[in-house]
Structure 1
Amino acid sequence: MSRILCLCVWLMATLSQIAQASSFNLVEQQDSVEINTDNYLMTIDKAGFRYAFAKPDGSVWLGKHADSGLIFLNSSVVTTELLEQDKQQVVFKVTNELGIEARVTVTPSSHYLKMAIALQDEGELQGSILARTAGLSPAYGLGDHAARRKSQSTEVSGYSSRHFGALTDGKPSRLTSNFVIFPSQKLALVSVEPDKKIVKVTRDELAQGVEYGASIPALYYFFGEPEQIYADFKTVRDQEGYKVYAPKYEWFGVGWEAWGALAWDTNEQTIRHNVDQYLQLGFPLDWMVVGSGFWPKKDPTFLSTTSFGLWDKTLYPNPEQMIEYFHNKGLKLILGLRIAFIPNGPFTQEGLDKGYFIKKDGKARLFRVSFPKPESYFLDANNPAAVDWYIELCKKWLSSGVDGFKEDLFGYEIEGLPDNKLDPVNAKLMEMGAYVMGRNGYLGSPMDLHRFEDFNYDQNQDRGPINGLAFAYSGFPYVYPDIVAGKGLHNMEFGEFSGQQLRTYFIRNARYASMNPSMSFGYGVWNLNDQHTTDMVRDAALDHHRLQPFIYSAAIRTYRTGFPYTMTPLPLAFPDDAKVHGRENNRVRGYQWLINDTLLAYPLYGDDYASSNSRDLYLPAGKWIDYDDGTLYQGPKLLKNFAIPLEKTPLFVGGSGVVVEQQDNALVGRLYATGFTGKVPFFGKDGVTQSVIDIKHPVGKSVTVTDTHTQQQVEVTRVRHAYQFRFIAGHNYVVE
């Protein structure tokens, strides 16, 4: 990079940081301190460091805690002293009831505020530290934990844990986020801390902190509309080292996973047979995963996905030819990958010799893990040299043509493991251009897809949509809802499950998955011996494939803005509409979301999938057009017992009314009469090419569309209740 270019990059980054900073006024009185910005006011009572936030008009945004705003070493703060201030921050000294002191640094920015709390003698003192205010609701977020609660709902009010992390109250979490948002109150918060955390979202208090440590390094409060909050949340994640990466196009198409079809028993012939069967039936596959069973099986030292570059020569005699075979069919081939190294494995001794595994008392320790079965050493992802070594091992796969990895550590003992135990590895792989399906992570997004925990037919089916929506709230919006029909059908691993219930399950699960950012198949639908089921499941796959460019454009908008356009829960899209709250649960089953602020998805899914054929659907304000039959509805409106047969595409079109689809290997723009005027962005499959559709007047009985690249009007026809025209990525269009 040239010196001039480096200087320009540095200058742009510096200007960006300055823009984020906010000028503020500080007023100290005898009993309180006020920090006033253009967008919020922070008031701190010196007694107890009780703090609150108010809006510019003076109304309360977030109230003070009844006792004290800070508590550390199980003792409440009682006194506060203003130490210093400059243009960027304000520093206080606080003292608790035990006489122990801490330093609190408050850094205001335009629409958010950072607090850092550090015990004065960090070398000697450690314990719990908690920052707290009055309570607030309704609340959303908390990643995997939202779906693991007894109350099956995306609403997390009432949640409380003193050891929030990869395992909380006995419930597992692999994609962990302690980000909590209150859309109707226009507020959010997160304490950026990869170790065990304290999280309370109760009627009495809203609190976050550390279970055991010497500081809360970075507690953030965000203020504004959801779009503003998520933009600032992305900025904070990037600044704090939990970077959000741009995802890749193919992942947002239809995939296939060997786990659902074959479990551990994979080989080159069975994989070819299954994938080819799906292709021959007209399923549009873009990617495939072989997660297990490809390593040398007869030697127990290879029983792992860390047998880098080594295949079972009997089961996979020609791996590079196999990879080329699937590449020629247009599929990306992904392998399972873990950071667990079994003792005596092919690369384990090298890792031990170089000190690349997590240690306890100075020695590499063994962790219990569901797979591999032997206790295993875990890569120390906080050691850059260890990560570099691991990436070089990964290149043994990549150099043979493998496109990327399904990161798949599960069932692990969590003692001594931070929540970001895999993030540095996945970040390196993303920077190399590898395709990454992520299953573990903290706060950031060093992955293309966010895959939630295995989702099988023996489980409560409400967990799926709740899990996906919770991910979207939490900053993990590239939701992949696991394999359609899950794992276990090939041998009825979870009990007998057949007949009409199985066929209905397969179809409903496929319809639900098709409305997610990504979807995949495993178990062969042909095994059901039912043409109607095959047709319905293929129809769901084709729905998703047709919308793939539109969904991916939403993913790039998400990457650029932080807002979850790939799956936008209605409380984020319509925060001031009280009727969108309280619906995402196993009572109402109002599992609805927006895709790219135009399509409203409403798949009939949940534990009643086999017995229900209708839902109460809520349409927010605006015009909504049925995707299948073109019926127009005017919101706000509750559609009672709205029929959703197995054959129905569960979509309404609203918002801008602009949808870009792929048909016969070409793109088409589709314009619906929703009354919208304005500009709509679209991003091409490279994630960079951008188009803008400028709707000058609401779409009516006729439209003209001009390609501003050629300055020519393009042909427009009426197709499926919308005006349709040939769309070229990178060209801009004016609609009149």
Structure 2
Amino acid sequence: MFARPPLRVLLTMMTALLVPFAVVVPSSPAAAAEAVVVTPSTPGAYSETGTWANARDPGHDGSPSRYSRTPGSTATWTVVAPASARYDLAVYYSASVDNAKVEYAWTGGPDTPTVVNQAVGGNAWRQIGSIYLDEGQTFTLTVTATAGPAVTTPNLNVITRANAVRLLEVASDEEPVADCGTDETAAPIVDAAEQRFPSYRLSQHGTMVSLAGDGWNVSIDRRGFRYGLQVDGASAAAPHPTAGLQLAVPGRAPCDAVAATLTAADASSTRFSVTFSNGRRADVTVVPADHSVNLRVTAADASTGSVRAQVAGGMNPAYGLGDLGGFRTDLNAYGIRNLDYYAQNSAGTTNQRFVSTFTVFPGRKLAQVVLSDESLAVQVDSAATLLGVNGPQMSGLHYFFGDMQTIYRRYAEVRQSAGYVNSKPDYTLFGVGYESYGALGYNTNQQTITDSVTTYLDKGFPLSWVVTGSGFWPYGSGTAQGTTSSFGLWGGKYPDPDRYKKFLHDNGIKLLLGARQSFRALPADGGTYDPALDGDGTAVGIEQGYFIKDANGKPRVFRPVSFPNTAAMYLIDPHNEAAVRWFVARSREWGADGYKEDHMFDGTANRYVNNALVNPINEGLEDDGKLMMVRNSAFSVAGSILRINDTDYNHGPGDRDRTVVNGLAYAASGQPNFYPDIIGGRIIGDLETNTSKQRYLTRNAMMAAMSPAMSFGNEPWRMNDPALVAATRKAAQWHAEYQPYIYSAAVTSYETGFPSTATPLPVAFPDDPRVRDLASAARKQYEWMFGPSLLVAPLYGADTDTAMSRDVYLPAGEWMDIETGERFSGPITLTAYQQPFGKIPAFVGGTGILVHDPGARDPGDAVAAGNLRASVYPVAAPGATFTCTSSDGHARSRITAKNTSWSAEDIVVRDSSGTDIAFSRNPVTGAIEFSVEAGLDYVISDADSPEWGLEVVDVRPAGPVVTDRAVPVQFGLVDQSGSPAGRGVTEVVQAAPDGAERQLEFDTDDQNRIHTVLRTQAGVAGAYVVVVKAADGRRLAHFTVKVT
């Protein structure tokens, strides 16, 4: 038996649920300099604004500890860097249960402040980031006091602490360039005849080597392996002016390539041996493929610390880069430089959890990615466009060429083949959700959740899924409790879990539990493992070797793992397939419908880098049939939706701009099914009366409704403004009604790789320069294509409590306000377009076809859900098509608009069974609306020429087309993709001008052309109509022959 661990103090357990917070980080050893520490007593190095006072207890090393309860007050520390180096940045503050989540901002830090929860981990150094400083450079760090009720005294504001800041040198300045040596190896000069291979052509002239494919070209100068990229004959990326490749030994500056020799070429690739300025070598393989090129670089010396590839800088704009490109306030990622980028690399543990280096340059028809689980190098600025891996090998560097659809298709194929797997989305998670933490905070239990969900439903808020993220496990004495890996051990807060699940299922709601792949370590390893609370998971994991091992083959101890916040934890080994299968099998013991994956980890503090640490667990749970909300992943998403970093009113106004940018950065990175987290974040204590927060919540709800996934927490009916309550309910009901449309777009994204669910405008309209910088805190024109038929432009950002209008840019095309029916021809900017609370900020365009379920709006009304309807708007051009995927993910319905008239009297709707379908015309928008049955296709046609949707081509009568004659006729029949469709014809009917019909014999040749003989009647001239039908009587198409 294992000994019961000692009781933990209360503060240790204040890390509950989904709150990001600072953690204890072991100090990194200083490389050459002493730590620089600044406190309020350091002369000239500390200043304040607002209201601050001395705390009762002293801070670090007896220095004064300051505190403030006044939101907006700031404390600033100033340091002059003693040497050019990279420094770990840490803060020290006094412990208190009333401490707040606060914002730290510093010189050269992230675009948005770093949030640290001072309620935990006080009286110790807390690393919050790192920074490179030049010798003599002035560095400042500022903490800003935040608002919220104190835990012990709710009528008082929370406390923000200010005490000490530490800069600890962890790496000296880069080695001088001269240390790279002066290797003067000359690049060979070669003139050779062009070589042709199935996928590319290879030519050599002088020092230049050219690989050319279909529409793309890679030109390589052997001098420095300087390579440039061309697409459709135009330059997409110029060569870097110095070198295209760099190698670095650990702790030293990278050295440039100086010369390359082409060593071999065949149908698979072209190979080079590259020499660098320090005499080191690397083998480079260039692998051409369909609309892409893969560069594989392997250093000859396995001790090489990094491999980098680069083209010229100045490639502005650029989009993507996952959380690296999203945790800022401008969707344009140009200007980013991070040469040590990896998953969960900060003490907050929430900022960098979706790792991607995919970068798209829409106007250049170019994208790039380096796929690796190692630490990565990324630079997209004026100096270079660089990708790299901090290790001796880089095999996953790819460049993609072509239009946006082609680029994203190829990226999805490459990503999949590299083992980064996307999962087919599930319908449920694209409906409206509920997260108990946002509604109830620490007061979550079976009864409170049941009551809250019941009220949501009674008040007309449709819910499809519910998250219980934490606290469903057993509790012991004091603060002892279980974890998400307690596997089936429900605690006293959930006395009847089967009844809890039944309540949800009876209301059509699926249950998701929090999932984390950490296990409490044994007391001998500094952990608090207690089988009565934690189950047997730790014991079995040790016995079977399921945990990540240390150098001695024993379970490696990780500390901290943020949540659950205990002294030591073990982690499932993601590379051990048996371990993953075991974890998935044991997770079934909870009996949940799915999981909110929320693994919290500090890679920096634990000196452990694995970008795909969580990917295998997510894939395993998804393959087991579970609904998956993903938070941690590298490149792919093994789930339906991807949650962005926590949103919260208390994060401050600037974080609202980051919220939208973060979601769109995911979409640009090829993962468009973003979930912008709980509306309002944590409980808003004064929501009943605080007008600013009420407006924020309402705007947040509408922004979330225009996103692929949304969820509620804060209960909107607490607001004392009925109009705002109604507006939030309208947002929820709209999202629920259009869930079939949203899901169909998500399936299209999964199947094509193109981010259809939410397409950033620069990706949707790559040739329109006016869309490139709209999504930014400066412009606040947050717009995206929401599926193929909607442009949405929710009013959101730092000014949610005051703004009532936004400039809205509509690109080229026809657009219609979805509510008012007002039409616009783009490109056009709608200046100060009004958005009163509750306005649906959507414009119909693109294909102009939507599907929706009116019965899903209100769970309490008499309209049954499941009656799917299509709406075809007058902006749909003839031939526009939309494919609806049913909720089972399989049955498809293709809806095609072939009509030229929009008058109800001039239109007919027919399904693929040949049946005429009843329809109505919306009096406001003029949209044609009709019911849709899964698996049937529909065509809207002009009433005088109703047809199914195939096209007759190349009609060739033989001889004079006159009355009283047999006229041989041949014609082709193609579907909407242009493919021959003649084999589907089983009947050809002739209709004479007098209405007489005659069935015609026909045959089909080996070209799929149909041959028949028109029988014209004596004395009956005019238009003879030839109709072709399928075996089930469907009218496929028709054409007219003029008979004289």
| TM bucket, shorter chain | over 0.9
- Give 3-state SS (helix, strand or coil) of 1:193's partner: coil
Instruction: Select 1:154's aligned residue among 323, 331, 340.
Output: 331
**2:342 matched residue in structure 1:** 165
- Give 3-state SS (helix, strand or coil) of 2:853's partner: strand
C-alpha separation in 2, matches of 1:451 and 1:126: 36
- Give 3-state SS (helix, strand or coil) of 2:741's partner: helix
Compute the displacement of 1:141 (Å).
Answer: 0.5
C-alpha separation in 2, matches of 1:498 and 1:217: 57
Please state if 1:105 is matched with 2:285: yes
Task: Decide whether the 8 Å contact of 1:166 with 1:176 is kept in 2.
Answer: yes
Compute the displacement of 1:232 (Å).
Answer: 0.5
Please state if 1:618 is matched with 2:809: yes
Residues 709/675 of structure 1: CA separation in 2 closer, same or farther (3 Å cut): closer
Instruction: Select 1:62's aligned residue among 237, 249, 262.
Output: 237
Higher mean displacement: 379-388 or 67-76: 379-388
**1:382 matched residue in structure 2:** 575
**2:446 matched residue in structure 1:** 268
> Which one-letter code corresponds to 1:437 in the other structure?
M
Please state if 1:145 is matched with 2:324: yes
- Give 3-state SS (helix, strand or coil) of 1:360's partner: coil
Please state if 1:677 is matched with 2:878: yes
Higher mean displacement: 246-255 or 655-664: 655-664
- Structure 1, unmatched stretches of 5+, are 1-20
C-alpha separation in 1, matches of 2:408 and 2:299: 30
Give a deviation string over 1:143-163, Cα, whole Å, max 9, x none: 1122324xx101011110110
C-alpha separation in 2, matches of 1:576 and 1:78: 37
C-alpha separation in 2, matches of 1:22 and 1:416: 43
Residues 454-603 of structure 1 aligned to structure 2 (within 5 Å): 454-459=646-651, 460-489=655-684, 491=685, 498-603=689-794
> Which one-letter code corresponds to 1:733 in the other structure?
Y
Give a deviation string over 1:421-469, Cα, whole Å, max 9, x none: 0000111111111111101000011111100111000122111111111
- Structure 2, unmatched stretches of 5+, are 1-196, 249-253, 522-528, 856-864, 942-1044
Residues 279-678 of structure 1 aligned to structure 2 (within 5 Å): 279-298=457-476, 302-312=481-491, 314-343=492-521, 344=529, 345-346=534-535, 347-362=537-552, 363=554, 364-374=556-566, 375-397=568-590, 400=591, 402-414=592-604, 415-459=607-651, 460-489=655-684, 491=685, 498-664=689-855, 665=865, 666-678=867-879
Give a deviation string over 1:269-320, Cα, whole Å, max 9, x none: 10100000000011111110100111001256643211110111x3211111
Task: Decide whether the 8 Å contact of 1:181 with 1:188 is kept in 2.
Answer: yes
Please state if 1:258 is matched with 2:436: yes
The number of residue pairs the alignment matches comes to 702
- Give 3-state SS (helix, strand or coil) of 1:270's partner: helix
Compute the displacement of 1:497 (Å).
Answer: 8.8
Residues 317/272 of structure 1: CA separation in 2 closer, same or farther (3 Å cut): same
**2:951 matched residue in structure 1:** none
Compute the displacement of 1:476 (Å).
Answer: 1.9
**1:8 matched residue in structure 2:** none
Residues 167/288 of structure 1: CA separation in 2 closer, same or farther (3 Å cut): closer
Compute the displacement of 1:127 (Å).
Answer: 0.9
Higher mean displacement: 181-190 or 47-56: 47-56
Task: Decide whether the 8 Å contact of 2:243 with 2:258 is kept in 1.
Answer: yes
C-alpha separation in 2, matches of 1:380 and 1:174: 18
Please state if 1:718 is matched with 2:921: yes
C-alpha separation in 1, matches of 2:895 and 2:933: 11
C-alpha separation in 1, matches of 2:518 and 2:853: 41
C-alpha separation in 2, matches of 1:727 and 1:293: 43
Compute the displacement of 1:675 (Å).
Answer: 4.6
Task: Decide whether the 8 Å contact of 1:438 with 1:449 is kept in 2.
Answer: yes
C-alpha separation in 1, matches of 2:284 and 2:573: 32
- Max Rg structure: 2
Higher mean displacement: 540-549 or 710-719: 710-719
Residues 119/320 of structure 1: CA separation in 2 closer, same or farther (3 Å cut): same
Higher mean displacement: 355-364 or 112-121: 355-364
Residues 47-126 of structure 1 aligned to structure 2 (within 5 Å): 47-57=223-233, 59-73=234-248, 74-122=254-302, 125-126=303-304
C-alpha separation in 2, matches of 1:709 and 1:56: 41
Higher mean displacement: 164-173 or 413-422: 164-173
- Give 3-state SS (helix, strand or coil) of 1:462's partner: helix
C-alpha separation in 2, matches of 1:170 and 1:159: 21
C-alpha separation in 1, matches of 2:354 and 2:344: 11
**1:10 matched residue in structure 2:** none
Task: Decide whether the 8 Å contact of 2:896 with 2:940 is kept in 1.
Answer: yes
Give a deviation string over 1:195-239, Cα, whole Å, max 9, x none: 11000101121110112x110011000011111111111101110
Higher mean displacement: 194-203 or 164-173: 164-173
> Which one-letter code corresponds to 2:585 in the other structure?
E
Q: TM-score, normalised by structure 1?
A: 0.93
Task: Decide whether the 8 Å contact of 1:367 with 1:378 is kept in 2.
Answer: no
- Give 3-state SS (helix, strand or coil) of 1:545's partner: helix
- Give 3-state SS (helix, strand or coil) of 2:512's partner: strand
- Give 3-state SS (helix, strand or coil) of 1:475's partner: coil
Task: Decide whether the 8 Å contact of 1:675 with 1:698 is kept in 2.
Answer: no
Higher relative contact order (CA 8 A, sep 6+): 1
Task: Decide whether the 8 Å contact of 1:40 with 1:53 is kept in 2.
Answer: yes
Please state if 1:729 is matched with 2:934: yes
Compute the displacement of 1:704 (Å).
Answer: 2.6
Task: Decide whether the 8 Å contact of 1:290 with 1:336 is kept in 2.
Answer: yes
- Give 3-state SS (helix, strand or coil) of 1:276's partner: helix
Higher mean displacement: 552-561 or 382-391: 382-391
Task: Decide whether the 8 Å contact of 1:134 with 1:206 is kept in 2.
Answer: yes
Residues 680-691 of structure 1 aligned to structure 2 (within 5 Å): 680-691=882-893
C-alpha separation in 1, matches of 2:215 and 2:587: 47
Instruction: Select 2:354's aligned residue among 171, 175, 183.
Output: 175
- Alignment RMSD (CA, Å): 1.7
Compute the displacement of 1:167 (Å).
Answer: 4.4
Question: Identical aligned pairs, as a percentage?
Answer: 36
Residues 643/407 of structure 1: CA separation in 2 closer, same or farther (3 Å cut): same
Compute the displacement of 1:367 (Å).
Answer: 2.5
Task: Decide whether the 8 Å contact of 2:688 with 2:719 is kept in 1.
Answer: no
C-alpha separation in 2, matches of 1:109 and 1:698: 42
Higher mean displacement: 353-362 or 33-42: 353-362
C-alpha separation in 1, matches of 2:279 and 2:843: 61
Residues 169/377 of structure 1: CA separation in 2 closer, same or farther (3 Å cut): closer
C-alpha separation in 2, matches of 1:436 and 1:675: 35
Task: Decide whether the 8 Å contact of 1:22 with 1:108 is kept in 2.
Answer: no
**1:233 matched residue in structure 2:** 411
Compute the displacement of 1:170 (Å).
Answer: 7.3
Compute the displacement of 1:625 (Å).
Answer: 0.5
- Give 3-state SS (helix, strand or coil) of 1:483's partner: coil
C-alpha separation in 2, matches of 1:71 and 1:545: 52
Task: Decide whether the 8 Å contact of 1:448 with 1:478 is kept in 2.
Answer: yes
- Give 3-state SS (helix, strand or coil) of 2:423's partner: coil
Compute the displacement of 1:84 (Å).
Answer: 1.1
Give a deviation string over 1:571-601, Cα, whole Å, max 9, x none: 1111101111111100110100111121111
**2:184 matched residue in structure 1:** none
Compute the displacement of 1:391 (Å).
Answer: 1.2
Compute the displacement of 1:95 (Å).
Answer: 1.0
Compute the displacement of 1:713 (Å).
Answer: 1.6
Q: TM-score, normalised by structure 2?
A: 0.66
- More helix by proportion, 1 or 2? 1
Residues 185/101 of structure 1: CA separation in 2 closer, same or farther (3 Å cut): same
